[in-house]
Amino acid sequence: MSNDGLQTLRTKTPEEGYELAVKLAQKGIAVTQPSEEIRKMLRPVYSINADSLIATSQVVAIHFQTVAFANNYWNK
């Protein structure tokens, strides 16, 4: 995977897969709200909101499920 973008969902380990899932979630936010200034302004609000944190965890979990499937759940 390059630093500029996502090239593949394939990872060597589940840990790398989870890191990729987090990166996918982060990139999704950056596409949805392209202004870094606005994202920084909103972060203090959602960072203390339990519902927002749970929703974020759900998005990462869905991305991790996709990555795990793409990696055949790391079965050899």
What pTM was computed for the model? 0.87
Structure-token pair, residue 47: 């960072």
Asked if 43 contacts 52 with a C-beta cutoff of 8 angstroms, the reply is: no
At residue 63, the pLDDT reads 98
> d(Cα 11, Cα 19) in Å, to the nearest integer?
10
pLDDT digit of tens for each residue in the chain (76 aa)? 445 578 999 999 999 999 999 999 999 999 999 999 999 999 999 999 999 999 999 999 999 999 999 999 999 7
At residue 1, the pLDDT reads 41
Residues near 45 by beta carbon (within 8 Å), at least 6 away in sequence? 52
At residue 76, the pLDDT reads 72
